[in-house]
Amino acid sequence: MTLDHVVVIGASLAGLRACESMRQEGFEGRITLVGGERELPYDRPPLSKKVLTGEWEPDRIRLRKPDEFASLGLDLRLGVRATSLHPDVQRLTLADGSELSYDGLVIATGASPRRLPGQPVLDGVVELRTMADSLALRDRIADGTARVVVIGAGFIGLEVAASARQKGCSVTVLEGASAPLVRGLGTEMGVAAASVQSRHGVDLRCGVQVVGIEGDGTRVTGVRLGSDEVVPCDVVVVGVGVAPATDWLADSGLSLRDGVVCDATLFTGMPGVYAAGDCARWPNGVFAGHDDAEMRVEHWTNAAEQGAMAGRNLVATARGEEATPYEAVPFFWSDQFESRIQFVGRVHGGDDVQVVAGALDGPFVALYGWEGRLRGVLGVSMPRLVMPFRALVAAKASWDDALNKARELTA
């Protein structure tokens, strides 16, 4: 196909990596990068940690310095969102009413925070996804006097809790599930990994029902639980997960199922259209044969690697070359107080879990297996022992091989 103009929707990590990889592959045509925020692409993980605590200023998390963008030769369209896609005529519409025609398109719109049913509009009720969100929350907790309630004990919620506690705030975390980090780590390991919170004075409550957020008509004053207790607060951070930002694609004809459905090469099935990052769902060959091989991954490493692959495959197919399947082992990390939590692979549910180094009341490493095969590795403050297992997961190593590797590393 002729490839003169590529549009990338999403000016964050996946979108930027797509632009970079296309240039690295020798594409000299026009690239338009569209982003809903007015900011140049920046790194999101520090928003809940070092930016939130004030240790870092926003300029430190830019993915490229402003003058470095000149080398990519991008047409930047920032502060405007895409509102509709018409792949039959290879055109999309932006929120300002303008239209863009394309030969190639990379969809990297990421995800948006989920909201609670009936969530009120009150001063002090916030979510954390953007730089603006982080800076606004930073102002609220800066003097250490705020009473903070975090709804949701996932990684973002617990990172926010840790940051607010480090500033001196009183912090309560409310979670409906029976344990923190259940989705990412499972029940037992989630409890162990999150135990650092209570050691630092965070009131972590699991198995509780939030029935409402209350206020005085202007500001938030508390969170009401199913027990009718009201937890008083000045700030409520709603951290109940994210949803792929695909609403603008509802009438596009693309297959949408908790994300943009792609094939193994990140191709959407529409001519010239690829997807990457938090909004992409694809069959990951690393987990072929398992019932969750089709996945959507919301982690930094995936966004970076997948964005680069989408851009590379778009250019390759335009040349008539074969596209490369994207096969990757998910990897994420979370810094909370003095603990660094790392996970390689994917939790299935009902996994065999075995601690192979350390103990659950301190630093440790645990292996996750399912149907006789290594599927994941969790490390808490033991980074040296975690990363060697990424290659084993990629190689579809057996459970016995994984245990042997653990014995070798800990000998």
Could you tell me the pTM of the whole model? Answer: 0.96
Query: What distance in Å separates the CA atoms of residue 162 and residue 153, rounded to the nearest whole number?
Result: 11
Whether 160 and 172 have beta carbons less than 8 Å apart is answered as no
Q: Is 126 exposed, middle or buried (0-12, 13-18, 19+ CB in 10 A)?
A: buried
Q: SS3 string of the chain?
A: CCCCEEEEECCCHHHHHHHHHHHHCCCCCEEEEEECCCCCCECCHHHHCHHHHCCCCHHHHECCCHHHHHHHCEEEEECCCEEEEECCCCEEEECCCCEEECCEEEECCCEEECCCCCCCCCECEECCCCHHHHHHHHHHHCCCCCEEEEECCCHHHHHHHHHHHHCCCEEEEEECCCCCCHHHHCHHHHHHHCHHHHHCCCEEEECCCEEEEEECCCEEEEEEECCCCEEECCEEEECCCEEECCHHHCCCCCCECCCEECCCCCECCCCCEEECHHHEEEECHHHCCCCCCEECCCCHHHHHHHHHHHHHHHHHHHCCCCCCCCCCCCEEEEEECCEEEEEEECCCCCCEEEEEEECCCCCEEEEEEECCEEEEEEEECCHHHCCHHHHHHHCCCEHHHHHHHHHHHHC
Across-strand partners of 93? Answer: 84, 99
**Tens of each residue's pLDDT in the chain, 411 residues:** 799 999 999 999 999 999 999 999 999 999 999 999 999 999 999 999 999 999 999 999 999 988 888 899 999 999 999 999 999 999 999 999 999 999 999 999 999 999 999 999 999 999 999 999 999 999 999 999 999 999 999 999 999 999 999 999 999 999 999 999 998 999 999 999 999 999 999 999 999 999 999 999 999 999 999 999 999 999 999 999 999 999 999 999 999 999 999 999 999 999 999 999 999 999 999 999 899 999 999 999 999 999 999 999 999 999 999 999 999 999 999 999 999 999 999 998 889 999 999 999 999 999 999 999 999 999 999 999 999 999 999 999 999 999 999 999 998
Kindly give the pairing relationship between strand 331-336 and strand 339-345: antiparallel
Closest CA to 41 of 18, 24, 64: 64
Give me the helix-helix angle, 131-141 and 155-166, nearest 10°: 40
Q: Which token pair is 393?
A: 């997961």
Query: Which CATH class for the 338-410 domain?
Result: alpha beta
Closest CA to 367 of 350, 345, 396: 345
- At the topology level, CATH places domain 5-112+243-318 in FAD/NAD(P)-binding domain (3.50.50)
Q: What is the largest CA-CA distance in the chain?
A: 64
Residues of the chain with CATH 3.30.390.30: 338-410
Residues of the chain with CATH 3.50.50.60: 5-112+243-318, 115-240
Q: Which token pair is 380?
A: 């808490």
Place of tokens 């949408």: 256
Domain 115-240 has CATH 3.40.50.2000: no
